[in-house]
Chains A and B, each alone.
Chain A
């Protein structure tokens, strides 16, 4: 394993670690990892997404090519009005310890499908790339007790102070110098105080109601972007129908499931993973049916409870993962064919790390991860080599849905699910939209797609890497899928993350 990024400052890492505990939206992996070329420069980009929107994203760029002098970054919409009207870009700061490492902070003002455009300049000229990011508020921050106590005390001080000032002004404000208040002044003061109490309490009530309205509105925005529920029904014994059902009723009005866009050849990527041991996994591709639903004739599979993850990309380029759990009977269905794939094996082992996974016909897949511990919130290149039965690099790797490979990172409690490619965690459909807006004439190839292109004249390289970072500590299972000699094969690895 190559550690592509060094750990961030300790305080920030701890903050992210703590914050990540509460994450559920987008299946717990909001940060974006991307590896690709900005003209002549190969870059590894990490976008640490803010917890609230509008908020500040942290951008890290590692240049894996020499000669880059400056990196500029700018956010803009992925599609539609404003996607071609960027503000003045920010100049990223060069690391004092590593001249190839750049960081910047970017404001993301809107929820939805955005992109971070990165412009590199150096000895080989200029180049740019665009990283699609899904921008959404993930949580509401509770107020810390010391701050709440401080603000409560200040509120009391201001409330009582305002009433007392009104009272003092009514009692003594118009008295001549040296004159003492008379009973009429005192009576007037009491009346003024009573009026002030009513007004201040009214103001506090209005303020509290307003705050609640703001809180509710914000929570609605948070809920809007929570993963929709995947409602599944089984028809005719083996036909699985999937419908999206969001918590927020406005979701179905705004997100048209009938107009999702293809993501490497398929409108939906469905993953069925056996609960709780993850000892069986299916990667299927349902087709759209009437009413915005998706359906697929299931292959043969044993009865049991399955976790459902269904990836789609809406027409604006925003990725959604439908989440659900389904109880299936024994299915006697069609054989696996086309881009569909399955895996059956050992259950997830906790506190264990596996480095090697057996493939059919005696081949194997090896995770080149080194001996160090795995740490959350650290961007890494996950490198896997495929070896034939003689232990030599496999010579029969082919593109699988246009990519050198696909990897799914799943936490043991299913709170994290990430579908990653050699180009990173961005959906290829969103990436296409992002690249359409670049100024460069030459079509840019993200990592993995370029490798796929090279297969026109031969096999893909036997080593595949996936840029990603675990969002939180825990036990993970990693499914790595490649295609060899026309067959999709799956290597499975378990990881303990600290």
Chain B
């Protein structure tokens, strides 16, 4: 009987409700771009896990297809959006679009379309690369970088697309868009923090290089989202979502069976090997949000110095001892998944032996690099703040 109430409502009220719902509904092109980004993250993580567990692939693996589908979806959706904005009379987006080559469309749509074309262009390039120089044995190659640039374009384009709408919106619609924005930033964070996962293995966590890399990759995104959003917990929410998605991969991927198809097989692998347990970025993000409330009136460089130092210090304070835990037998379970080694890792590897790998030659070098890491945290925080302020002004 519950649905008899709306039916009894006057047509005018129902129409008003529908109009209100339509006005606050997330636009189709944002959903398309979000789906495209999800495909690209899932496809890449699936592909990395495939290489760790099965080893062998071809151009036509499901993971590769998912990645290229992501590019095609973003490219086609944004091309349609640009064409409809350009040629459709009375398009509501015309006044909130930018012009390029005689076309009109939201700035984010152009960026997404560029990303889609770059991803699709990387496919024949990568295929030729394999036939000319052999199939991939490493992640970084020119066609893969073109693919990564395309994925970055789609993720950044989606963020711009969402932010332009969010910055113009108010009330419920703005709140909905802000939630979408948090997810968009999570996927941007995947491009900075996620891309260095080979260098953030637990064996490096007691070395200064690890902290340098993390400080170059993480504070910029945290500072950006804190500037873009009015939410006082913006950095915490974004980092929590990032950690949650990462944990989902850690726990879900091992549910799928897999066997190595390349040798030598040093590790007994029976399932898809997941990524390592996520970094404890959530703690410095909370510290960041707490600190910025107290220093909101300071100058930008002073804020960046305080926030960068707080992020760096709190990250060391939790990650350093947590690294000891990850090396201990207590972490060897499904939750922390520290026994999920790729098939090709020899038993003599420090990773398998659970020993730290020093990345500097002496104590002096360690402290110099730690100082560089602190400077990086401050500088990247400042850049993130400037980036966020620009993003906050985007209207189109």
Contacts and interface: CB of A to CB of B under 8 A. Distances in A.
B123 to A, nearest CB: 10
Interface stretch (B26-34, B61-69, B135-143): B135-143
A347 interface: no
A55 interface: yes
A81 B265 CA distance: 10
Contacts of A140: 132-133
A174 B263 contact: no
Given A158-B121, A161-B117, A177-B95, A88 B101 contact: no
Contacts of A157: 117
A403 B158 CA distance: 70
Interface string B126-165: 0010111111110001100100000000000000100010
Given A168-B99, A214-B141, A87 B262 contact: yes
Interface in A144-199: 147, 150-151, 154-155, 157-158, 161-162, 164-165, 167-169, 171-178
A137 B134 contact: yes
A174 B131 CA distance: 45
A388 interface: no
B137 to A, nearest CB: 6
Contact of B135 (A107, A143, A210, A215): A107
A109 interface: yes
Question: A53, A82, A137, A165: which has the most chain B beta carbons within 10 Å?
Answer: A165
Contacts of B274: none
A282 to B, nearest CB: 39
Nearest to A169: B107
A184 to B, nearest CB: 14
B215 to A, nearest CB: 23
B262 A81 contact: no
Interface string B79-115: 0000000000000000110111100000100110010
A216 B259 CA distance: 35
B265 A85 contact: yes
B124 interface: yes
A99 interface: no
B266 A172 contact: no
B395 interface: yes
B133 A172 contact: no
A26 interface: no
B390 to A, nearest CB: 8
B395 A85 contact: no
Given A109-B262, A140-B132, A174-B395, A158 B118 contact: yes
A483 interface: no
B261 interface: yes
Nearest to B157: A165
Given A151-B125, A174-B394, A168 B264 contact: no
Given A147-B124, A169-B107, A82 B396 contact: no
Given A52-B132, A140-B132, A76 B145 contact: no
B124 A150 contact: yes
A218 B134 CA distance: 9
A300 B107 CA distance: 85
B394 A172 contact: no
A52 B107 CA distance: 43
A173 B142 contact: no
Interface string A78-118: 00011101111010000000000000000101000000000
B395 A87 contact: no
Contacts of A56: 135
A374 to B, nearest CB: 30
Interface string A12-34: 00000000000000000000000
A54 interface: yes
B393 interface: yes
A177 B168 contact: yes
Interface in A50-88: 52-56, 74-77, 81-83, 85-88
Contacts of B131: 52, 141
Nearest to B266: A85
A200 to B, nearest CB: 11
Interface in B263-316: 263-266
B263 A165 contact: no
B56 interface: yes
A207 B134 contact: no
B394 A107 contact: no
B343 A87 contact: yes
Interface string B34-77: 00000000000000000000011000000000000000000000
Given A85-B265, A151-B124, A52 B134 contact: yes
B394 to A, nearest CB: 5
A111 to B, nearest CB: 9
Nearest to A53: B134
B346 interface: yes
A318 B130 CA distance: 25
A205 interface: no
B213 to A, nearest CB: 20
Contacts of A87: 55, 259-265, 343
Question: B95, B136, B261, B263: which has the most chain A beta carbons within 10 Å?
Answer: B263
A168 B145 contact: no
Contacts of A81: 264, 346
B264 A77 contact: yes
A162 B259 CA distance: 42
A82 B347 CA distance: 12
Contact of B263 (A75, A141, A150): A75
A82 to B, nearest CB: 3
Nearest to B264: A82
Contacts of B264: 76-77, 81-83, 85-87
Nearest to B121: A154
A154 B117 contact: yes
9 contacts: A52-B133, A52-B135, A137-B134, A140-B133, A142-B132, A165-B110, A168-B107, A173-B164, A173-B393
* A-B interface, 8 closest residue pairs, ranked by CB to CB distance from nearest: A82-B264, A85-B264, A172-B98, A154-B121, A141-B132, A87-B263, A174-B393, A52-B134
Given A142-B132, A147-B128, A173-B164, 13 more contacts: A54-B136, A74-B263, A85-B266, A88-B260, A109-B137, A161-B110, A168-B99, A168-B110, A177-B95, A207-B145, A214-B141, A215-B133, A218-B132
Interface of A: 52-56, 74-77, 81-83, 85-88, 90, 107, 109, 137, 140-143, 147, 150-151, 154-155, 157-158, 161-162, 164-165, 167-169, 171-178, 207, 210-211, 214-215, 218
